[in-house]
Structure 1
Amino acid sequence: MKITAPYNFVPLNEKVFYPSWSEQVTQDLPFADSEDGVIEVKLKNVSPLFTRDGSLKEHSTHIMGNDGKRHYFIPGTTIKGMLREIVEIMSFGKMQEDKDFQNRWFGYRDVANRMNKAKSAEYLKKVNNAIPGWLSKEGERYFFTPCDGQLEKIHSIEVGLNFPGYNPNGSIWETNVSVGSDSNHYPTYPEREKDGISYRIVCTGLMQGKKHELLFPSDRGDSIPLSEETIRAFKSIYEGTPDFAKEKEGKGCFLMALEKGYEIPVFYLKMQNGQEILGMSRMFKLPFRNNVRQQVEILQKADKTRHDLGETLFGYTGDDNLKGRVQISHAFMEGTVEDSELIETKGILGTPKASYYPLYLKQQHSPYKTYDENEGIAGRKLYRIHSEGTTTQLPQGENKNVGTTFKALPAGQTFTLRISLHNTREAEIGAILTALTFNMSPEVFFNLGMAKAFGFGKCHIDKEDITLRGFSQDMNYYMQRFEEMMSVFTYENYQQLWAQTESITQLVNILSEHTDEEVRMMEMKEYGDSKFEKKNPFNKIQEKGTPIHSWLSDEDKDKIRDLALKAKGERAEKEARRSLSEQYALAKSCVEAKDFQKAKELYNAIMDELLKKGINIQEERQIVADIEEQIAEQEEAKKQQAAKAAQDAIERELEAGLGTTLDKLAGDGVSYSIKDFKVCFQKVEIWLKKSKALQLNESDSNDLFNTSMRLLQEPSKKEVKELAKPFDKSGIWRKLTGFLGEDKAKELYDSYQK
């Protein structure tokens, strides 16, 4: 069996293009090379078209004119959403949560895997370790309270005998309500005793061959607080389960009961890695290892702090906001259509489910990868184009409450709109025109409105139906600027020109015409059977592979390759320096604090890292050279400061007089520092040198005389013999004569002799 679907995926770009000017965009200060202008567009619907307006119910969006007729239009927001999506794909933008995808968890119940018995055994081992209990909500927190005891069973016949309202053929919600409910018709899970132990009856709903209901022990253990991640996964896995998140004819559901303060019966499993899992039945769904966000991030690790071209053009909200520079009017239809000409359509507009991993995940070869593997998301989903103006019938179904009725506009209508651009650069203008015309590729269409999966809303814009107002160049010029810019990016990152990349080729081929068989939506049984590859060999949806039109000449391509190589080097250099941003910041702070030695060490370490990556370090070398000059100046300043301090100390010492030096006390604070003439004479000679004098002045001479008198009273043992020599024979008396003069020296001599 061949897998078919009315949709396919543009492979997700791993690298994101961030315009270099994205952080400089404002509404008030235009770029020097920007332009303002208006693009006037006429588009035609090739197949029936319906755009919903909630207040109009069955009719497409319109206003009633004074002529009493409906004047139809396509809302500007509808066209803007389509145009932004195409721009983001063509410009290799980010795939963003809550805008491009909803993060969801998917589960699996693998009781009897026909293809992998080992996996079934593993599944059963896990769920058999789960414990029963009650999930409740207190304020904004959720808690699991385990039952204290073993899970038991009660025969359905016994339940029916004790509870006459028991309905074993209802859904799980209806069955529990039938056994016991309060005045609000919410399940109460009545108590029942078995073998002297109290239990509460929990019904499992309609099941083929079912003979028993469950008994949860009434005794309880301590409550366990649950993480937000656990609750989000639980709600996500069961949101499509009957009676869990959606009411049936206003009868209530488990999620509503939980949010209103009722507790609901669940099974709880804690994995070895700490992951907590909640299930709604004994054989409950286990979540796959990865959720949708994780599968996206496997392929594309976008920088949330930077803005892609789509955000730069159309604006964004968040921590910082930017108003878009692209304004799109409603597209009003030319003329009117009588109600009798409208195409009334009835059926069920089901939405594809991302849990179907053979399509929604990247598949390379057999076997099909599930959300347990790290293959990544298949890409951005687009609805494939039906051939000519054909549509396929919507599924009818038996439940009229889920059906839709709408009256579509017939094919062949013409709509006119205006796209106003403000402060836009040439490549940005080119991005809008390229998205409108797919770079002037023939036979490429886009979808608008409802029921795109069934061929509705197929639209086309011819080159002749686009008019530029206020711009300096023609359409081809701007589209070439965009293609050149993107080709530099793609060649740098993928070694391919933009028009040759898989993403762009897949985009234009998904939006080209397909046969009825190619866009056929499979039956429910086919979705299940297609996973069993022994019965149905591995296959995936294939597109034709026709390339998009290109404006580039051979000379342009050569130039782009050179620019890409240059850009790659610049990007590598930028990324290398970005990775060292903390070291740069620390080095800069050291320079500002004048800690030049530390700054030099840091910059030398930075240069070593850059050299390992082959990055030019000329800029850093100049910084280090400047720092070395600062270090040299700093050292010279220190020397000068030290010299000045020494000179100031000498001047203070000279001003105090020689006596301060000669009579300085020793460390004990009692005895004198100078205790003999040898040291005394050394101090005097130093003093004369410092004062640059040949002899002592009168004050200093008196100080030396007094110190000499002190030393003569208790001369050192070594100098006693020298002092006893005749006046003209002793070195000490000769020294004193030289310093004090003969008269004072003789006076000291005579004093010592007595």
Structure 2
Amino acid sequence: MITSPYNFVPLNDEIYYPSWASDEVLENIHDVPLKDGESGVIELEITAKSPIFIKNHVKKSEENDNGVKEFCHFNNGKSKHFYIPATSLKGMIRNTLEIMSFSAMSFIDDKTYSQRDLSSKDYKEKVLKNIQCGWLYKDENGEYSVDICDGIYRIRYEEIGNKFGIKDYKDIFLYGNFDERNSPLKNAKEKYKLVGFDACQKIYTFSRSGDSNGRKLVKFSDDGDLKGRVVLTGHPTSRKEGGERRPSGKIQDFVFIERGTPYILKVSKKAFDDFKFAYFDGRTKQPKESADWTFWKEKLQNGYKIPVFFHKIKGKNEVRSFGLSYLYKLPYDKSTLDTLNDAHKQQGIDLAELIFGYSKEIDGKQSSLKSRVFISHAKAMDNAKEESPVTIQLGSPKASYYPNYIVQDSFNMQKNYNSVDAQLSGWKRYPIHKSMDIKSVSKSTQTTTIKPLKEGVKFRCKIVLHNLLPVEIGALLSAITFHGTSDCYHNIGMAKPLGYGKVKLEVLNMQDLKMSVKEYLEVFEADMNANLFGHNIKWHESQQIKNLLTMASEQSNKAGTNAELKYMELSEFAKVKNKHHLERYTKLQDVITKIPTPLSTAKAIVERKAAVSKNSNPTKQKDGKEPQQNSISGLENLFGGAASYKKGKR
């Protein structure tokens, strides 16, 4: 069983591309009023239904003396004035609108994750097949290359101890002597300190001393015919010998044998970036930068060649991947972007981008559009009160955990980023907590101490709309109100996995807009049904809407069930990895599916269909596709029949 404080809204297989998103219209959309376009103001009240915390925007040196992080505020010299930043509100609303309007997943952190699963037969076969070793270095042009060595050889710990005068070197690593949790010798850096880094940089002569489980062994020999350097790598677990069981645990290190003729391979930026990502390059918080990479990075920057194990691209003088150990962190075949549903990679302009703007490459050219929605900071009302500081520990979910982040079949729990048909699970969301029971934990390097605002605090903000069509206003209001569903909540800020940041958004007033909230919602829903659901009233019961609203509503989330909103213990992740997967939220135990009340009618959809037929003059999308039709299309209809229109900036 897998439990998690997050879940995913499944990706839509079809993207809604509004018919009016042509080049001609977009060039003038900020300057020329659309025929049915409206401009106005929506006033919102935001009520915290749980303690809420959004980090203050200050430098680390300006933080509270005792390390307590405070809620976002400005200080007028007399008192603190708390607020929710406009960027936080915009991100929260836009993400919800993307899902509800069947837009594309526009923001994705494209990374190539790595695997080092010693229990996986697939991993072992891939990492051991055609593995080589060599010396990574930076040339005079700042480019990275690998100087290939003549094969991977092993040398026993006894040989190393005897050569470098370390008494009982092997015994240090035996079971009972070696502390698997805390020994500094788990890292190569400390082994080099013990043996002597400079000593290992020297070239020695070796002779073959046989084979061990298919491994080529060498020993120091003055008259040997092999020349090379000793390479030390980390020692993860103790060596177990004696008794009835077969010996286990590392008891050898490596010798990189010199080649007679240099053989140099190039290291691409992609290969080097994948390596740095796998070793948490530059991270100061958990998971921190690998201790071994910190050690070798300094050497590399100071002109040393550093030992690596690698795989070569077949038919090219180029490294495909590399690492600092024999069984290194092997990059998956696919990045996160590679596993994104193909529909979400098309180059059309979706509804969320039309409303909130975009900056992206289309047909090889950079294109951008300014937002037509402007959100103010949400200032706290007079009832804002701070809670006492609380120390919390937050998990750091990684998309490399494929049972959660990759769609799994019920009969195949092992799809990962190497699978041909791998697909991302969808939009990540943190389900609403019905209640909270937060106790402060002991401070450590993995904790954060925060000072939230108490439940019940109210904030107010304004959203200014510029030249939006009724369907766009409806989409925005649908995202704000969860399509008029009263018992659904947003969440915002830090510590959402623990239940912080649960908020209720209420429309207080709409200025200069022509219709009611409900009427705008009807227009939006009818448009979705007309364009994506064959003119049937089906949008409200799609998997996307059901999962979104169910996660936004209060559920029992009973302890001991797969619906419990908590991270698993570290040991549990490996145990369930290839046995279970994260179920869709609507399928979890005792979770009651939430569906909004449908507002559009068959008559309304027919009327919109008739309007489309009458006014249809759609322009082609940038991807060459005919866009879905809308009752508002064509330059004449959009700009109110104007004979000419101004060419403005986007």
Rate the CA distance shift 1:366–1:281 in 2: closer, same or farther, 3 A.
same
Secondary structure (helix, strand or coil) at the match of 1:473 reads coil
TM-score, normalised to structure 2, is 0.76
Select the residue among 248, 251, 254 that pairs with 1:214: 254
Rate the CA distance shift 1:258–1:87 in 2: closer, same or farther, 3 A.
farther
Counterpart CA distance in 2 for 1:422 and 1:8 is 34
The answer on 1:38 being equivalent to 2:41 is yes
Select the residue among 329, 341, 359 that pairs with 2:404: 359
CA deviations on 1:655-694 (whole Å, 9 max, x unpaired) are xxxxxxxxxxxxxxxxxxxxxxxxxxxxxxxxxxxxxxxx
Q: Compute the displacement of 1:299 (Å).
A: 4.1
Counterpart CA distance in 1 for 2:135 and 2:161 is 21
The answer to whether the Cα contact below 8 Å between 2:408 and 2:581 also exists between their aligned partners in 1 is no
Select the residue among 379, 393, 396 that pairs with 1:332: 379
The answer to whether the Cα contact below 8 Å between 1:245 and 1:255 also exists between their aligned partners in 2 is no
Could you tell me which runs of 5 or more consecutive residues in structure 2 were left unpaired when the two chains were aligned.
64-68, 170-182, 206-219, 240-249, 361-365, 587-591, 627-650
CA deviations on 1:465-502 (whole Å, 9 max, x unpaired) are 42101112211111211112222222149x76321211
Rate the CA distance shift 1:107–1:27 in 2: closer, same or farther, 3 A.
same
Counterpart CA distance in 2 for 1:470 and 1:242 is 49
Secondary structure (helix, strand or coil) at the match of 1:327 reads strand
Which structure: greater helix fraction? 1
Q: Compute the displacement of 1:247 (Å).
A: 4.9
Residue identity opposite 1:237 in structure 2: A
Match of 1:302 in 2: 345
Match of 2:66 in 1: none
Residue identity opposite 1:327 in structure 2: F
The answer to whether the Cα contact below 8 Å between 1:366 and 1:538 also exists between their aligned partners in 2 is no
Select the residue among 342, 345, 359 that pairs with 2:390: 345
Select the residue among 192, 195, 200 that pairs with 1:176: 192
CA deviations on 1:248-284 (whole Å, 9 max, x unpaired) are 8999344465456543321122365878232321122
Match of 2:19 in 1: 20
Rate the CA distance shift 1:254–1:324 in 2: closer, same or farther, 3 A.
farther
Match of 1:320 in 2: 367
Could you tell me which runs of 5 or more consecutive residues in structure 1 were left unpaired when the two chains were aligned.
581-754
Match of 2:2 in 1: 3
Please provide the CA RMSD for this pair.
Answer: 3.6
The answer on 1:383 being equivalent to 2:430 is yes
Residue identity opposite 2:146 in structure 1: F
Match of 1:202 in 2: 231
Match of 1:59 in 2: 70
Counterpart CA distance in 1 for 2:335 and 2:17 is 26
Rate the CA distance shift 1:549–1:191 in 2: closer, same or farther, 3 A.
farther
The answer to whether the Cα contact below 8 Å between 1:152 and 1:215 also exists between their aligned partners in 2 is yes
Bigger Rg, which one: 1
The answer on 1:87 being equivalent to 2:92 is no
Which structure: greater strand fraction? 2
The answer to whether the Cα contact below 8 Å between 2:105 and 2:344 also exists between their aligned partners in 1 is no
Counterpart CA distance in 2 for 1:444 and 1:261 is 58
Q: Compute the displacement of 1:324 (Å).
A: 1.0
The answer on 1:448 being equivalent to 2:464 is no
TM-score, normalised to structure 1, is 0.66
Rate the CA distance shift 1:240–1:488 in 2: closer, same or farther, 3 A.
farther
Match of 1:604 in 2: none
Rate the CA distance shift 1:549–1:258 in 2: closer, same or farther, 3 A.
farther
Matched length: 549
Match of 1:153 in 2: 155
- Greater relative contact order structure (CA < 8 Å, 6+ sep): 2
Counterpart CA distance in 1 for 2:162 and 2:496 is 49
Residue identity opposite 2:369 in structure 1: L
Select the residue among 96, 108, 121 that pairs with 1:101: 108
Select the residue among 421, 424, 442 that pairs with 2:468: 424
Q: Compute the displacement of 1:455 (Å).
A: 0.6
Counterpart CA distance in 1 for 2:537 and 2:295 is 53
Secondary structure (helix, strand or coil) at the match of 2:51 reads coil
CA deviations on 1:28-75 (whole Å, 9 max, x unpaired) are 222122111111111101111111124164111111235x22111111
The answer to whether the Cα contact below 8 Å between 2:74 and 2:81 also exists between their aligned partners in 1 is yes
The answer to whether the Cα contact below 8 Å between 1:343 and 1:410 also exists between their aligned partners in 2 is no
Residue identity opposite 2:110 in structure 1: N
Counterpart CA distance in 1 for 2:228 and 2:453 is 61
The answer on 1:546 being equivalent to 2:594 is yes
Q: Compute the displacement of 1:557 (Å).
A: 4.8
Q: Compute the displacement of 1:528 (Å).
A: 1.1
Secondary structure (helix, strand or coil) at the match of 1:419 reads strand
Secondary structure (helix, strand or coil) at the match of 2:321 reads strand
Q: Compute the displacement of 1:351 (Å).
A: 1.8
Counterpart CA distance in 1 for 2:301 and 2:472 is 47
Counterpart CA distance in 2 for 1:177 and 1:570 is 75
The answer to whether the Cα contact below 8 Å between 1:47 and 1:456 also exists between their aligned partners in 2 is yes
Rate the CA distance shift 1:548–1:254 in 2: closer, same or farther, 3 A.
farther
Secondary structure (helix, strand or coil) at the match of 2:255 reads strand
Q: Compute the displacement of 1:91 (Å).
A: 1.3
Counterpart CA distance in 1 for 2:150 and 2:287 is 28
The answer to whether the Cα contact below 8 Å between 1:72 and 1:336 also exists between their aligned partners in 2 is no
Secondary structure (helix, strand or coil) at the match of 2:146 reads strand
Counterpart CA distance in 1 for 2:504 and 2:266 is 55
Match of 1:230 in 2: 271
Counterpart CA distance in 1 for 2:128 and 2:473 is 57
Q: Compute the displacement of 1:538 (Å).
A: 6.0
Rate the CA distance shift 1:50–1:527 in 2: closer, same or farther, 3 A.
same
The answer on 1:469 being equivalent to 2:498 is no
Secondary structure (helix, strand or coil) at the match of 1:335 reads coil
Rate the CA distance shift 1:207–1:578 in 2: closer, same or farther, 3 A.
closer
Q: Compute the displacement of 1:178 (Å).
A: 4.7
Rate the CA distance shift 1:445–1:261 in 2: closer, same or farther, 3 A.
farther
Q: Compute the displacement of 1:112 (Å).
A: 4.0
Counterpart CA distance in 2 for 1:169 and 1:111 is 20
Q: Compute the displacement of 1:539 (Å).
A: 6.3
